[in-house]
C-alpha cells in the first residue's frame, strides 16, 4: 500500500506538508474550544464574572470555530488537488505500461481487469487520499492531544472514556475481520462484471440473432447477484457499526454526567463549582477522543479496500514486458526488405503444444511470399512473430539480416505495414485512419493518403462519402462494411511506405474482382516492398513468387503454384477444393 505513494510527485508531497500545517492548526483550534467553554462556565458561576468577559470568551470561541472551518476547507481543497493529480498521474503511468505490454501480458491480466485497474482501482486509492489526508493525520493528533488534556482530571471519567474506546475497538476489529475478505472479493467481482458487460456489448448482434438474451442475462445475473450480495454484506456490517458508535458517544456523555453528579454530590461546596466546570470540559474532550477514533474507523474501513486496489495497480506497474527493446535503430545493411525465418518454433505462453514447428523460409525485396494452410495451421501466429507481438520460442527471425529482437520496436514497426486479420479502425476520419501513427519519416502528405486509398481500391467509396477524406469513421469502423474496413486498413499500411507488408488474411472480405485489382495495384505501386500474404483463397496467392504451405504448424511445401501442384499433396487438396481442374490448368 505504502509503495503506491512513491508515485506521488514532489509537488504533491509539498501540498501534503502544507495541509499537515492546517490540520495541526485545526486540531489546536478545536481543542481550544473546551478551554473557553470552561472559562465561561467559571465566569457564569462566580460573582465577579461580568458580561463583557463572557462575551469576549464567546467571541474567541467563535473565532476558533471560524479558524477551524477555514483550515478544514483549505485541507479539503489541497487533499482533492493532490488526489486528482495523483490519480491522473497513475492513470497515465498505467496507460503507458499497458501500451508497452505484449499480447502475452494483456491476456495474462485480461482486458476487463486492466480497465477496472485503470478506473475503479485508482478511484479507490484517490478516495483514500482525500479522506486520509483530512482524517488519517487529524485523528491520531486529535486523540493524543485530547487524551493529554483530560488526563489527571478524574480517574473515574478517564476510566469510562477508556471503556468506551476499548468497546469501539473491539466492535471495529470484529467488523474488519468479517468484512476484509469481502473487500478483496469486491474488486475481483468488478473485473468479472466488466468482462461480462463487455462480452455482451461486443457480441450484441449475435446475442440478438440467436435469441440468446436470456442466456446472457443469466450469465450477467450470476455475477451481478454475487457482487450485490458482497456489497450488501459489507454495507450491513458498516450499518451495524454506525449505531454502535452513536451508542458509545451517548453512553459516554451519560456516564460522564452520572459520574460527575455523584462526584459533585460528595464534594464540599468550594469544589462543587470546579467539578462542574471540569465535567463540562471533560465531556467535550471525551467526545473529541471518541470522534478521533470514529475517524480512524472510517479509515480502517477504507484502507483494506484501497490497499487491495493499490496492490492490483502495482501488479500492472511492476510487470516487466516480456518483449524487451533492442538497440538498433537504423541498421547499416544493404539487405532492404529481406525477411528470413531460421528454424523458428513457437508455443503460446502457458500452452503445452508448439503451434509453429521448425519453420524456415526467406523473402527478398519486392517478392510476394504467401502462406496457406487449413484453419488453425498457424499462419497468423507465424506472421505475428515478425512485428514481435509474441516472441519466437526457438530459432531466429531476421529482417534485413538483423534479428528482430535487436531492433528497437519503433524502428522495427516502421519497416512493417501490418494489416490484421480483423480490420481495426479508430474513431476519427478517413484521413486520420489512413495517416495513422508514425512512420519514422517526415509524416504523411495529403497526396500519400490519396495514393494509398487509390491503391487499396478504396477511392470509390471514400470519395462518395459526404465529407470525402474527412468523412467520419466511428469506433471500430462500425459505419463501414467489412470490405470497406479491410480496404481502409490496407490503405493505412500502404501510406506508411513500409519495406515489408504483412497481410494477415486481409483480402478475405473483398470480392474476387477487387481482390485482383488490389493485388495488381500493389504490385505496381509498391513494387519494391516485400509482401507476406496469409490467405485462404488460392486465387489470391496463385501468382506469388513463393507459397509456403503450412500444416499443423509445420512447413509441408514451399514453391510456386505450379511446383506445389506437382509436389505438395496438402496444397493440391486445397487447390482442388476451391477451383476446378480446368481453372487450375
Ligand atoms: N492467443 C492464443 N493463445 C493460445 N493459443 C492460440 C492463440 N491464438 C491462436 N492459438 C492457437 O494457435 C493455433 C494457430 O492459430 P492461428 O490463428 O495462427 O491459425 P491460422 O492458420 O491463422 O488460422 P485461420 O486461418 O483460421 O486464421 C490454433 O490452434 C489456435 O488455437
Domain of 223, CATH number, reads 1.20.1560.10
Residue 212 in domain: yes
Please work out whether the CB of residue 553 comes within 6 Å of at least one atom of ligand 1.
no
Same domain, 449 and 306: no
Kindly report the protein residue whose alpha carbon is nearest to atom 8 of ligand 1.
381
Q: Do the Cβ atoms of 550 and 561 come closer than 8 Å?
A: no
What is the reported pLDDT for 296? 77
* pTM attached to this predicted model: 0.75
Please work out whether the CB of residue 348 comes within 6 Å of at least one atom of ligand 1.
yes
Return the ligand 1 atom nearest residue 350 CA: 4
Domain count, the chain: 2
Residue 149 in domain: yes
Residue 103 in domain: yes
CA 561 – CA 538 distance, rounded (Å): 9
What is the reported pLDDT for 585? 58
* CA of 500 relative to ligand 1 center, distance in Å: 22
Return the ligand 1 atom nearest residue 377 CA: 21
What is the reported pLDDT for 249? 84
Q: Do the Cβ atoms of 435 and 448 come closer than 8 Å?
A: yes
Same domain, 310 and 350: no
* CA of 234 relative to ligand 1 center, distance in Å: 43
Kindly report the protein residue whose alpha carbon is nearest to atom 5 of ligand 1.
348
Same domain, 115 and 219: yes
What is the reported pLDDT for 429? 92
* CA of 387 relative to ligand 1 center, distance in Å: 17
Residue 334 in domain: no
- The boundaries of the domain holding residue 201 are 2-317
* CA of 461 relative to ligand 1 center, distance in Å: 33
342 beta partners? 396
Please work out whether the CB of residue 377 comes within 6 Å of at least one atom of ligand 1.
yes
Same domain, 464 and 360: yes
Burial tier of 23 (Cβ tally within 10 Å: 0-12, 13-18, 19+): buried
Please work out whether the CB of residue 401 comes within 6 Å of at least one atom of ligand 1.
no
Same domain, 79 and 177: yes
Residue 261 in domain: yes
Q: Do the Cβ atoms of 385 and 344 come closer than 8 Å?
A: yes
Same domain, 40 and 178: yes
Same domain, 301 and 351: no
Same domain, 201 and 103: yes
* CA of 476 relative to ligand 1 center, distance in Å: 22
CA 497 – CA 494 distance, rounded (Å): 5
Kindly report the protein residue whose alpha carbon is nearest to atom 26 of ligand 1.
375
- Taking the CB of residue 223, how many other CB atoms lie within 10 A of it? 18
**Sequential pLDDT tens for the chain (585 residues):** 778 888 888 999 999 999 999 998 988 898 888 888 878 877 777 777 678 888 888 899 999 999 999 999 999 999 999 999 999 999 999 999 999 888 889 988 888 889 989 998 999 999 888 888 878 778 888 888 777 877 777 788 888 888 888 888 888 888 888 887 887 788 788 888 988 998 898 889 899 998 999 999 999 999 999 999 999 998 888 788 878 888 888 898 899 889 888 888 888 877 787 788 888 888 888 887 788 877 777 777 778 788 888 999 999 999 998 888 888 887 676 678 889 999 999 999 888 899 999 999 999 999 999 999 988 899 999 999 999 999 999 999 999 989 999 999 999 999 999 999 888 899 999 999 999 988 777 778 888 899 999 999 998 888 888 888 899 999 888 888 888 999 999 999 999 899 999 999 888 878 888 888 888 898 888 888 999 999 888 888 888 999 999 999 999 999 999 899 888 899 988 888 886 655 655
Please work out whether the CB of residue 351 comes within 6 Å of at least one atom of ligand 1.
yes
- For 422, list phi and psi in degrees, rounded to 5: -105, 115
* CA of 519 relative to ligand 1 center, distance in Å: 26
What is the reported pLDDT for 142? 80
Same domain, 418 and 283: no
Kindly report the protein residue whose alpha carbon is nearest to atom 9 of ligand 1.
381
Residue 374 in domain: no
Residue 445 in domain: yes
Residue 7 in domain: yes
DSSP 337-368: T-EEEEEEEE--TT-SS-SEEEEEEEE-TT-E
Same domain, 297 and 404: no
Same domain, 125 and 203: yes
Same domain, 343 and 296: no
What is the reported pLDDT for 215? 94
| CATH code at position 457 | 3.40.50.300
Kindly report the protein residue whose alpha carbon is nearest to atom 6 of ligand 1.
348
Cell of 393: 520460442
Please work out whether the CB of residue 378 comes within 6 Å of at least one atom of ligand 1.
yes
531 beta partners? 368, 501
Please work out whether the CB of residue 376 comes within 6 Å of at least one atom of ligand 1.
yes
Kindly report the protein residue whose alpha carbon is nearest to atom 28 of ligand 1.
376
Amino acid at each position: 500500500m505504502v509503495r503506491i505513494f512513491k508515485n506521488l510527485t514532489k509537488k504533491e508531497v509539498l501540498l501534503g506538508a502544507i495541509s499537515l500545517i492546517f490540520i495541526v492548526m485545526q486540531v489546536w483550534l478545536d481543542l481550544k474550544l473546551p478551554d473557553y467553554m470552561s472559562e465561561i462556565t467559571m465566569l457564569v458561576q462566580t460573582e465577579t464574572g461580568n458580561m463583557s468577559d463572557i462575551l469576549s470568551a464567546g467571541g474567541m470561541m467563535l473565532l476558533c470555530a471560524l479558524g477551524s472551518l477555514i483550515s478544514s476547507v483549505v485541507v479539503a481543497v489541497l487533499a482533492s488537488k493532490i488526489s486528482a493529480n495523483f490519480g491522473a498521474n497513475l492513470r497515465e503511468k498505467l496507460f503507458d505500461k499497458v501500451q508497452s505490454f505484449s499480447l502475452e501480458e494483456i491476456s495474462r491480466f485480461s482486458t476487463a481487469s486492466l480497465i477496472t485497474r485503470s478506473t475503479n482501482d485508482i478511484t479507490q486509492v484517490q478516495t483514500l487520499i482525500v479522506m486520509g489526508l483530512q482524517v488519517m493525520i487529524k485523528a491520531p493528533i486529535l486523540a493524543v492531544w485530547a487524551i493529554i488534556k483530560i488526563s489527571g482530571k478524574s480517574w473515574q471519567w478517564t476510566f469510562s472514556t477508556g471503556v468506551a474506546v476499548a468497546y469501539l475497538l473491539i466492535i471495529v476489529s470484529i467488523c474488519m475481520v468479517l468484512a476484509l475478505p469481502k473487500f478483496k472479493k469486491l474488486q475481483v467481482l468488478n473485473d468479472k462484471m466488466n468482462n461480462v458487460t463487455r462480452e455482451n456489448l461486443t457480441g450484441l448482434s449475435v446475442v440478438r440473432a440467436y435469441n440468446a438474451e436470456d442466456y446472457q442475462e443469466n450469465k450477467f445475473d450470476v455475477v451481478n447477484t454475487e457482487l450485490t450480495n458482497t456489497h450488501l454484506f459489507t454495507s450491513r456490517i458498516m450499518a451495524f457499526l454506525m449505531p454502535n458508535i452513536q451508542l458509545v458517544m451517548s453512553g459516554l456523555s451519560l456516564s460522564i454526567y452520572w459520574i460527575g453528579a455523584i462526584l459533585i454530590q460528595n464534594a464540599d461546596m468550594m469544589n462543587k463549582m470546579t467539578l462542574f466546570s471540569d465535567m463540562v470540559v471533560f465531556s467535550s474532550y471525551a467526545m473529541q477522543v471518541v470522534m478521533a477514533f470514529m475517524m480512524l474507523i472510517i479509515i480502517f474501513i477504507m484502507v483494506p479496500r484501497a490497499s487491495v486496489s493499490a496492490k492490483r495497480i502495482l501488479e500492472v506497474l511492476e510487470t516487466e514486458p516480456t518483449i524487451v527493446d533492442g538497440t538498433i535503430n537504423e541498421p547499416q545493411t544493404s539487405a532492404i526488405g529481406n525477411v528470413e525465418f531460421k528454424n523458428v518454433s513457437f508455443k503460446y505462453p502457458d500452452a503445452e503444444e508448439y503451434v509453429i514447428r521448425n519453420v524456415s523460409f526467406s523473402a527478398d525485396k519486392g517478392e510476394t511470399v504467401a502462406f496457406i494452410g487449413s484453419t488453425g495451421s498457424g499462419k497468423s501466429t507465424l506472421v505475428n512473430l515478425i512485428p514481435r507481438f509474441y516472441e519466437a520460442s526457438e530459432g531466429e527471425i531476421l529482417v534485413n539480416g538483423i534479428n528482430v529482437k535487436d531492433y528497437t520496436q519503433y524502428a522495427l514497426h516502421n519497416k512493417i505495414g501490418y494489416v490484421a486479420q480483423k480490420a481495426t479502425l479508430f474513431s476519427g476520419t478517413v484521413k486520420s485512419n489512413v495517416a495513422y501513427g508514425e512512420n519514422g519519416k517526415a509524416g504523411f502528405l495529403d497526396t500519400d493518403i490519396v495514393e494509398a486509398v487509390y491503391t487499396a481500391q478504396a477511392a470509390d467509396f471514400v470519395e462518395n462519402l459526404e465529407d470525402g477524406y474527412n468523412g467520419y469513421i466511428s469506433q471500430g469502423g462500425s459505419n463501414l462494411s467489412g470490405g470497406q474496413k479491410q480496404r481502409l486498413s490496407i490503405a493505412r499500411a500502404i501510406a506508411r511506405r513500409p519495406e515489408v507488408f504483412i497481410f494477415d488474411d486481409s483480402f478475405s472480405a473483398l470480392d474476387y474482382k477487387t481482390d485482383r485489382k488490389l493485388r495488381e495495384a500493389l504490385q505496381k505501386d509498391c513494387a519494391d516492398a516485400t509482401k507476406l500474404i496469409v490467405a485462404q483463397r488460392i486465387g489470391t496467392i496463385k501468382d506469388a513468387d513463393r507459397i509456403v504451405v503450412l500444416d499443423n504448424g509445420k512447413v509441408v511445401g514451399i514453391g510456386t503454384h505450379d511446383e506445389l501442384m506437382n509436389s505438395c499433396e496438402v496444397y493440391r487438396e486445397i487447390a482442388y477444393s476451391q477451383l476446378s481442374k480446368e481453372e487450375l490448368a
